[in-house]
Amino acid sequence: MRLDKLLSNLKYATRKEVRKLAREGIITVNDKVIKDPSIHIDPINDEIKIGHETVLYHETLTLMMNKRKGTVCAHNDDLHPTVFEDLDIKYQRFDLHIAGRLDKDTEGLIIMSTDGKLVHDIISPKKDVYKTYEVFTKDVVENIDDLKRPMEILDGNNQPYTPFEPIIVSQDNQRSVIKIKEGKFHQVKRMFAHIGHEVIALKRLAIGELTLDESLSPAAHKVLNDDDLKKIFQ
Ligand code: URA
């Protein structure tokens, strides 16, 4: 791949700016100063630097984040911080999409990826990727099995929607753990509201068999490898 194309694709600089940086002698490939940015490089094996900054390249990049409460799953928001603002600057250059958004007051596992097919497959109910939520309700839930009865809630367009039957993982006083395979707007809150319970705290613990890395503090994130990705679809 051409060096100038790589750097402009990764939003380090425009091609024109890359030419200028190269003329100034601050772009190196494997420690050799490169004055002609039209050269071809191997983005995986060559070490490319602009000044002291090493250029980070991933053919596809997929991250796990422990979303913190208070952030919105959107690229831009006038009122609230976004999950993208919590990303390390080196990842902000990538065209990342969220595989299943969480509400502002929900925390826990989100997956962000440059791989559109992966994002689609995680979201699509047809792929049977269950999402596990830890739910705290205002009151003790004594009728958890009511969640398994067919119900009608509203989706994000305020249209009636009947969720697939959830899996009840556990229930203890005000704490329930359930799995659902879709991600309609406010779905967990609306399902609990339907059975008469107000959700006061919500955390996503897992997507498929990929569980939130609890060593990630709120807003922290890490790159997922192929073994992690396999767990999603197990
Ligand atoms: N269900 C909800 O109600 N909110 C979320 O953030 C995720 C699932």
Atom 2 of ligand 1, residue of closest alpha carbon: 186
Q: Is 36 a catalytic residue?
A: no
CB atoms within 10 A of CB 24: 11
Within 6 Å (CB) of ligand 1, which residues are found? Answer: 102-103, 106, 186-189, 202
Please check whether residue 62 is in contact with residue 75, taking contact to mean a CB–CB distance below 8 angstroms.
no
Model confidence pLDDT, tens digit, residues 33-59: 999 999 999 999 999 999 999 998 888
Q: What is the pLDDT along the chain (234 residues), one digit of tens a residue?
A: 999 999 998 888 999 999 999 999 999 999 999 999 999 999 999 999 999 999 988 889 999 999 999 999 999 999 999 999 999 988 988 999 999 999 999 999 999 999 999 999 999 989 999 999 999 999 999 999 999 999 999 999 999 999 999 999 999 999 999 999 999 999 999 999 999 999 999 999 999 999 999 999 999 999 999 999 999 999
Q: Which of 188, 190, 203, 204 to mutate to test the pocket of ligand 1 (most atoms within 8 A of CB)?
A: 188
Helix/strand/coil for 52: coil
CA of 186 to the centre of ligand 1 (A): 4
Helix/strand/coil for 141: coil
What is the spatial distance between Cα 6 and Cα 42, in angstroms, rounded to a whole number? 10
Which positions ≥6 away from 164 have C-beta within 8 Å?
125, 180, 181, 182
Please check whether residue 187 is in contact with residue 40, taking contact to mean a CB–CB distance below 8 angstroms.
no
CA of 187 to the centre of ligand 1 (A): 5
How far is C-alpha 142 from the chain's CA centre?
33
Helix/strand/coil for 139: coil
Q: Mind listing the domains of the chain with CATH numbers? A: 3-54 (3.10.290.10), 59-127+213-234 (3.30.70.580), 130-207 (3.30.70.1560)
Q: Which of 72, 123, 132, 189 to mutate to test the pocket of ligand 1 (most atoms within 8 A of CB)?
A: 189
Q: Which atom of ligand 1 is nearest to the CA of 204?
A: 7
What is the spatial distance between Cα 65 and Cα 226, in angstroms, rounded to a whole number? 16
Q: What was the pLDDT predicted at 9?
A: 87
Q: What was the pLDDT predicted at 100?
A: 93
Model confidence pLDDT, tens digit, residues 104-136: 999 999 999 999 999 999 999 899 999 999 999
